[in-house]
Structure 1
């Protein structure tokens, strides 16, 4: 089966599916720390494990580099991105406060009725169990949180703003194994306040609600730094 491209070019559709599958698989390995932070990536070993040639693995790693999840060093190949230091974590949240506060304001100003309903629905979503009770529930909670923030960035209507926010979230999600989500109810209430301000079309209130949420989230995450392994050179 083939895909017809502009100007008569033809390329196998299966190839596109394979590349995407390999990308998503390796991304999952990085996020779950099956490929631990700050570790060299063996392309040939990954290709054997996934039963593919090295080419789609290299293509996936190039995409993951743009996502901020791996790094390429001259003569050394790829390494997974190390966990953030406390100072880098603070910088990340300072950037989130700026960017996501702006995104919330733009979403409040630009959201259609359908968008407002979507944001309210995402704000009210829960994982159905107490988040933090086991990794799977924690991961489910993290996914809901990411979806909510991404939807607001999308509704804000700026591709560049959304891409910047997504990149910041990638760095944060590397830490999710260490960040307990025991206070999921607090997050839900904060999301509902953001959604309410966007629904009312109030940019100032949306910005304030988002900044309050991120400030509280930063404080909830800080104790996790006591659990993290010390950073070291790539293995």
Structure 2
């Protein structure tokens, strides 16, 4: 092996793997979990993933650690990794209670404090979601879920209150809600509600932003709880 063809070292004698590999493994596992291909509560076998993905254990473990931080997987001593359980009805109710306390406040403050750059980012995220119609959502499910999370996260991070932002981030709200239930028929309603929030924040109208976010959370609560009740009765 010539000097030019030797693998590059990171200075510790270890070959440095491209970060892209770890990111790709993460994306694959994220998709499997969000689409319920890996069902809630099921064990995640690292050796099986090694064979399926054709990679070593290292990028898989890195991806699982990231997913654990997001609340999508849990690690149990002497057992290993499993897909996180779905939210139970009472916890879902409490999650929406928390959102109603924090997110309208965050939207009101963001309308006053968000930067011009933040407004443009908010509009861009909203524009991507607005292009997704109900009939197209199945193929764009993960993109829609991620954009929804980005929109809400940007608003809370622009509120000027890092404690509110951290609290909402720890709830992993959007990951759990989109994993909990697939609601393609609600796409237009969600987009209409988001458009009202984004317009209010963009116009620096805190009172309107507060009301728009409160209405959106209340409608989201109704959609998920109503659909959950239907599923239980079927």
1:168 aligns to 2:200 (yes or no)? no
State whether residues 106 and 156 of structure 1, in contact with CA within 8 Å, keep that contact through their aligned partners in structure 2: yes
User: Residue 149 of structure 1 aligns with which residue?
Assistant: 152
Whole-angstrom CA distance in 1 between matches of 2:67 and 2:184: 26
Per-residue CA distance 1:124-176 (angstroms, 9 max, x = gap):
5445463156622555543443332233234335555445434222222222x
Q: Structure 2-normalised TM-score?
A: 0.80
SS at 1:72's partner residue? Answer: strand
Contact 1:132 1:180 in 2 (8 A): no
Q: 1:1-235 to 2 correspondence within 5 Å? A: 12-126=15-129, 128=131, 130-131=133-134, 135-157=138-160, 161-166=164-169, 167-175=172-180, 178-225=181-228, 226-227=230-231
- Higher-Rg member (1/2): 2
Cα distance in structure 1, aligned partners of 2:110 and 2:46:
41
Check 1:122–1:66 CA distance in 2 against 1; reply closer, same or farther (3 A cut): closer
Distance in 1 between residues matched to 2:53 and 2:162, nearest whole Å? 33
The structure-2 alpha-carbon separation of the partners of 1:15 and 1:123, relative to structure 1 and needing over 3 Å to count, comes to closer
Aligned equivalents of 2:79 and 2:233: distance in 1?
23
Q: 1:20 to 1:14 in 2, by over 3 A?
A: same
Q: 2:4 maps to what in 1?
A: none
Tell me which protein shows more helix as a share of its residues. 2
- Measured in 1, the distance between the counterparts of 2:126 and 2:54 equals 40
Cα-to-partner distance string for 1:39-97 (whole Å, 9 max, x where unaligned): 01111111111111222222221221111001112222111011111111111212222
- Describe the superposition over 1:7-60 as per-residue Cα deviations: whole angstroms up to 9, x where unpaired: x77875534222222222211111111111110111111111111122222222
Could you state the TM-score of these two structures normalised by the residue count of structure 1? Answer: 0.80
RMSD between superposed Cα atoms in Å: 2.9
Gaps of 5+ in 1: 231-235
Shift of 1:107: 1.4
Gaps of 5+ in 2: 1-6
